[in-house]
Amino acid sequence: MPSPQPNFFQRNALNLARLGMLAAFLIVWEVASNRFDAAFWVSSPTAIVDALKRWYEEGNLVADTRATLLEAGTGFVIGSLAGALLGFFLGWIRRLGDLLEPFVLAIYTLPKVALAPLFVLWFGIGLLNKVMFSALLVFFMVFFTTFQGARQVDQEVVTNARLLGAGRFQIWQKIALPFAAVWVFTGLRIGLPYALIGAIVGEFVAANTGVGYRIKEATAFFDTASVFAGLVVLMAISSTFLAILKLVERRALRWQSTDQAATAIATEAKAN
Amino acid sequence: MSAPAAIHAAARAPAAQGASDRGILFDGVGVTFGSLTVMGPVTLEVRPGEFLVVIGPSGCGKSTLLNLVAGTLRPTIGTVHYHGKLVSGPNSDVGYITQKNYCLPWRTVEENVKLPLEFRGYSRRDMDERAARVIRQVGLAGFEKHFPKQLSGGMLQRVMIARTLAYEPATYLMDEPFASLDAMLRMRMHHDLMALWQATGATFMFVTHDLHEAITLADRVVVMSGRPGKIKLVQEIDLPRPRNIVDAQSDPRFSAYFRTLWQALDAH
């Protein structure tokens, strides 16, 4: 008979399984790398940890991470603000949206990474260049989802609101904006990795600091362990970003959760 | 709707005849979509304060009549006057209840009910008080903080009703509002609706294809023909008011009305 109170292992079965898989993967990596003498190509977990330690001791890890964080973070904020605002206006003002849609699409299909060299010309090789490039990538992601979202505001709901006495501004404020918020968050989630991509690509093209610059430099010296160390740092940064975003989203879009639906109906059944 | 008399101070006066500046007037109204004539021409006066039920086969333009009064649809020919004014856009004097759920998913039950009150600039205290009252009336007390996702279809329908009750419209347009409710709840809603009508001076236009519902509720029943919908018969329902929904159905006149209306619906 199963115990009514699940013990520690039962409660965390999924996470323990994940941890086990990760450990197994790292061990296989380490062993295989030594066994087949493939450290030059794939490095090894211990070598990566050493590279990280060296990176830190040289005093560059913190500075590089800070630079990349600053570029990606500022770019993300600028890009998502501009994207959400413009996307909402063009999406909500239907005629303007119809007018501009083909142009917007044309720019959207352009591989934006190809703009990186141009951005060097415009914004130099300093921080500004990476911030702007990161903002550009994020902008398009957020802009597009918000644009599509704002165009999908249910016109019947809007008509119904007018019967309920809503003026034009109130429809904006109480119907269209909250409706679009869901899409803005979707855009933010999609746009977030692009903030990092923008910063890294910017650093690849021209930089003297940052995680991307370190990866490029290490590659030039065939220092595979340091390249992987850079990737580990990037992974940590993006995971942290995403966790924060999810937390904010869960608070802002509380109404979307369906957890309590069943409870509510059961409560009513009891009450009647 | 346990204490509707407390909500609406206005006591019900007998439906005044011919006061068209407070009634609704359809004058030779027809609606055409492309080459399809949905309805008309229809000429009909809804008397102020009356309970008018419209019945007819599906697709005969019953709902179209309500949309014209709400101003969400423009007639192709003819005019609709509401309280003496030509209807030319969304008419916020009316409360429109359909089977569709227009709850905003990001607002709780309470916040959804307050929506029209916010639009209309009620004070916070007034909103709280009204919302609490109408939520109690429709039997959703205890669900104020729930989100629409957490409610069943019947409960959502009652949120829609509460939201309309909250701002006390002068006219209620109801398009099969109880179709999604189970039989028990439906009877209770009929009872409450009668009490509401009795307590307010409001005019009701109620669309259904349920004959029992029609006779139980109505002062007059308008029978419409199949497409294009035209008025076939206007039947006064002379059952005593205030009307008890159980007694009404056992009145011998009830079955006579039933037969008359059934024949009008059936004959092509």
- List residues of chain B with CB under 8 Å from any CB of chain A: 70, 72, 90-92, 94-96, 100, 102, 104-108, 115-116, 118-120, 142-143, 146-152, 155, 163, 167
Please indicate, yes or no, if residue A121 is contained in any of the structural domains: yes
Residues of chain B found within 8 Å of residue A268, distances taken between Cβ atoms: 143, 152, 155
Please indicate, yes or no, if residue A226 is contained in any of the structural domains: yes
Please indicate, yes or no, if residue A269 is contained in any of the structural domains: no
Its domain, for residue A18, covers 12-42
A33 shares a domain with A146: no
Please indicate, yes or no, if residue A243 is contained in any of the structural domains: yes
Spans in chain A with pLDDT lower than 70 = 1-4, 256-272
Cβ atoms of B196 and B254 within 8 Å: the answer is no
Number of separate domains in chain A: 2
A29 shares a domain with A84: no
Tokens representing B35 are: 């080459």
Please indicate, yes or no, if residue A264 is contained in any of the structural domains: no
Cβ atoms of B31 and B40 within 8 Å: the answer is yes
Residues of chain A found within 8 Å of residue B167, distances taken between Cβ atoms: 164-165
Q: Report the residue of chain B nearest A172, measured CA to CA.
A: B119
The pLDDT score that the predictor gives to residue A1 is 52
Q: What letter would DSSP give residue A257?
A: -
Residue among A170, A169, A174, A178 at smallest CA distance from A150: A178
The pLDDT score that the predictor gives to residue A266 is 46
- List residues of chain A with CB under 8 Å from any CB of chain B: 156-157, 159-167, 170, 174-175, 178, 181, 253-258, 260-261, 263-265, 267-268, 271
Please indicate, yes or no, if residue A3 is contained in any of the structural domains: no
A160 shares a domain with A78: yes
Given an 8 Å threshold on Cβ–Cβ distance, is A268 in contact with B143? yes
Please indicate, yes or no, if residue A2 is contained in any of the structural domains: no
Would you state the torsion angle of the CA atoms of residues A61, A63, A69, A74, taken in this order, to the nearest 10 degrees? -170
A20 shares a domain with A140: no
Amino acid (1-letter code) at residue A215: I
Q: Report the residue of chain A nearest B70, measured CA to CA.
A: A163
C-beta pairs of A38-41 under 8 Å, 24+ apart in sequence: A39/A224, A39/A225, A40/A222, A40/A224, A41/A224
A31 shares a domain with A50: no
In chain B, what are the domains? 17-93+170-268 (3.40.50.300), 104-168 (no CATH)
The CA distance from A32 to A27, in Å, is 8
Please indicate, yes or no, if residue A261 is contained in any of the structural domains: no
A35 shares a domain with A166: no
Question: What average pLDDT values come out for chain B (268 residues) when binned by 10 residues?
Answer: 41 48 89 87 93 88 92 93 91 91 92 95 94 91 92 88 93 89 83 87 91 92 89 90 84 92 80
A50 shares a domain with A19: no
A49 shares a domain with A26: no
CATH number at residue A154: 1.10.3720.10
Residue A240, by phi and psi: left (phi above 0), alpha (psi -120 to 50) or beta?
alpha
For A213-224, letters b (16+ CB in 10 Å) and e give bbbbebeeeebb
Residue among B12, B15, A162 at smallest CA distance from B4: B12
A37 shares a domain with A50: no
The CA distance from A260 to B76, in Å, is 47
A245 shares a domain with A118: yes
